[in-house]
Amino acid sequence: MALRQRGKDNFYHAYFRTVIALPDGRLKYATTTVNLGTGDLVTARALEAELMRKNKAARLHQRATARLTALEVAAGERPISEAPTPILHVKRQRRLKIGDALETAKKYRELGETTVKRFRAFSFAVPYRYMDEITPEIAFDYLAKKCPDPANGKNFNNIKSALNIVFRLTLLDSGMDESPFARIPNRKNSSNHQRPFTEKEFIRIYTNAPEPWKSAALIAWFTGLRQKDVFSLRWDCIADDVLTVLPAKTARFGRAVRIPIHPQLAAALKQLPHVDERVLGAWEYNPASITFRRAFGTLLRRLKIEDTADGFVAFNSLRDSFVTRCDAAGIPRHAVRGLVGHVSDDQTDLYSHDLTTARLVQQLPAVNLDKSTGNDNL
């Protein structure tokens, strides 16, 4: 049995899972709903217990009557037409404790570290024991308290998404029909675009990041490649100090980008070991892993490189940094559009900028990567 609030009066309803034994031995399942006529959880729990007690008594009486009738039919005291019908009984529905939800969810898929932390915070904050006690109203109130600033849409949406994942994965185990977070609308994010990293932020990232993120960040800083393209970059893409790549996002158009390699990047690439066809093949990593994909965000939080009013930060902020630096160097718009693989003026306009010559990309200022300038001693 499970309890949920429904209707205009917000009364609690008890849900029974009913099992009917068919003549051929198969079981048929059905759900019965009983309106308890109260919006008070304590009262509803008491009524639920009484309902279960009465159902158990009725079931025992029904079984005893059916057994007696069956004996009378077998003894010839009653006609076969009066043989007892299949017995209807109530089976108590499984309930999943909030404290057990994470382990249950992990049976179905891998959970990210942030998702686990956010759900644990939720489990400690709400005064409920079972997953099916969490209503959409309770879910929204929790999000509103965690994110009181209406302008902070990103944090609101991220927490909602993390909690919704766990509830959605455990629907079968908790006996719920839908996650209480499923119909809560996302908030608009006041900073719904990426901002570029400053040079100081990039130096902090480079000097504190482990491999392969250190080399990946340097490649993205000097080429503007997206994260997926950086980690799939092959040695045969490099020839005559030019990087030729078919970006995954626009591969359907068949447009490769050719990026002159900056001298500082060229020197760094020569230091990388050639283990396989991938430029970053010296390190074990799985780009499809949730943990791997979120590792860069974890690094940014550790370094306290945060979202601002100008936008949020992510690995692809390095791409924005590349475009911004090209802007500062005066490289013309159409040239930068070709370098980053944009196919329309509207897309390039997101970055703003009057640029003068794409060939100046090799003359962009080098970065002082002396560890003493960026090490945070974390």
73-80 mean pLDDT: 67
Average pLDDT, integer, range 289-293: 73
Residues 86-99 have a mean pLDDT of 63
| End-to-end Cα spacing for the chain | 51
Same-domain pairing of 129 and 86: no
Please compute the mean of the pLDDT values over residues 330-335 and round it to a whole number.
79
Q: What percent of the chain has pLDDT over 70?
A: 75
Q: Is 282 exposed, middle or buried (0-12, 13-18, 19+ CB in 10 A)?
A: middle
**DSSP secondary-structure letter at 357?**
-
- The predicted structure's pLDDT at residue 98: 95
Q: Which domain holds residue 48?
A: 2-91
Residue 166's pLDDT is 95
| CATH number reported for the structural domain that contains residue 282 in this entry | 1.10.443.10
- Model's pTM, two decimal places? 0.52
Do residue 248 and residue 163 come from a single domain?
no
Per-residue pLDDT, 353: 35
Residues 306 and 217 in one domain: yes
Average pLDDT over residues 111-126: 92
**In this model, does residue 87 exceed pLDDT 50?**
no
The structure tokens listed for 322 are 């590349």
Q: Is residue 108 part of a domain?
A: yes
| In the predicted structure, residue 72 carries a pLDDT above the cut 50 | yes
Better-scored residue on pLDDT, 49 or 198: 198
Q: Which residues contact 31 (CB under 8 A, 6 or more apart)?
A: 15, 16, 17, 18
Confidence band (pLDDT; 50, 70, 90) for 352? very low
Average pLDDT rounded to a whole number, residues 219-244 = 90
CA dihedral of 25, 31, 36, 42, whole degrees rounded to 10: 90
**Could you give the CA distance from residue 162 to residue 219 in angstroms, rounded to a whole number?**
31
The rounded Cα 296 to chain-centroid distance in angstroms is 15
Listing DSSP states for 173-207 in one string gives HHT-SS-TTTTPPPPPPTT-SB-PPPHHHHHHHHH
Answer whether residue 187 is part of any domain: no
87 and 102 co-located in one domain: no
Residue 75 to residue 67: CA distance in whole angstroms: 12
Segment 194-219 shows an average pLDDT of 93
Reduce the DSSP state of residue 371 to 3 states and report it: helix
Averaged pLDDT, 39-64: 70
Percent of the chain residues topping a pLDDT of 90 = 33
- pLDDT: is 130 or 68 the higher one? 130
Number of domains into which the chain is organized: 3
- Name beta bridge partners: 19: 29, 89
Q: Is residue 181 part of a domain?
A: no
Note whether 243 and 219 are within 8 A (CB).
no
Last residue of a domain, one of 174, 191, 222: 174
Distance CA 206, CA 222 (A): 13
